[in-house]
Structure 1
């Protein structure tokens, strides 16, 4: 399986079988670009899956989310000043994550 334009391939999320719609957080200013990173994301049992997507564009808003709230988080590369904070929140609130280039 190849992953276009990204250097990391995403694996299926190991989640509770009762959860049918993965929760995804997309962080950054350009939402269409972030949505493109979901193309080809693994499907469960070969079936199409509806995603529950939430967008956030400010680093400070990440503090409001509880631990393991999302199955996947996709963020545009943060600035050097905010990278530590973004990565810290990302690993806390999401089971999988991807940081993209701008």
Structure 2
């Protein structure tokens, strides 16, 4: 019974980052609350790291950003009529994403 199984990486996505300074996108109107979601991210070996943070307006489309432009994107909840396209763009531009409540 030699069944072949796909190998699944069990480590967090940030373990494979090659950049020394992760790029972060924060999209929304209330920047202080968006920044709170970054507290403690990412830490390796108990050490904090510098982050390159780019802010975007809540109504700004993510379509203008290239694929895998960011290591993490935090966006405020989009309108229900554009939720599907927003999630598609979020997964395209960022390796990790978080949608927050308003």
Partner of 1:74: 74
Q: Which runs of 5+ in 2 are unaligned?
A: 1-11
* TM-score of the aligned structures, taking structure 2 as reference length: 0.80
- The structure-2 alpha-carbon separation of the partners of 1:67 and 1:59, relative to structure 1 and needing over 3 Å to count, comes to farther
Residue 34 of structure 2 aligns with which residue? Answer: 34
Cα contact 2:25–2:56 (8 A) shared by 1 = yes
Question: Deviation of residue 41 (structure 1)?
Answer: 1.7
Whether contact under 8 Å (2:26, 2:55) holds in the other structure is: yes
Deviation at 1:12, TM superposition (A): 5.5
Give SS of 1:20's match.
coil
Larger deviation, residues 59-68 vs 20-29: 59-68
Report the Cα offset of residue 61 of structure 1. Answer: 3.5
Give the structure with higher Rg (CA): 2
User: TM (normalized to structure 1)?
Assistant: 0.80
Deviation at 1:58, TM superposition (A): 4.3
Q: Name the count of aligned residue pairs.
A: 90
CA pair 75-97 structure 1, distance change in 2 beyond 3 A: same
CA distance in 1, matches of 2:81, 2:45: 41
Classify the secondary structure of the residue corresponding to 2:90. Answer: helix
In the other structure, the counterpart of 2:100 is 100
Query: 1:49-64 counterparts in 2 under 5 A?
Result: 49-64=49-64
- Runs of 4+, deviation exceeding 3 Å: 58-61
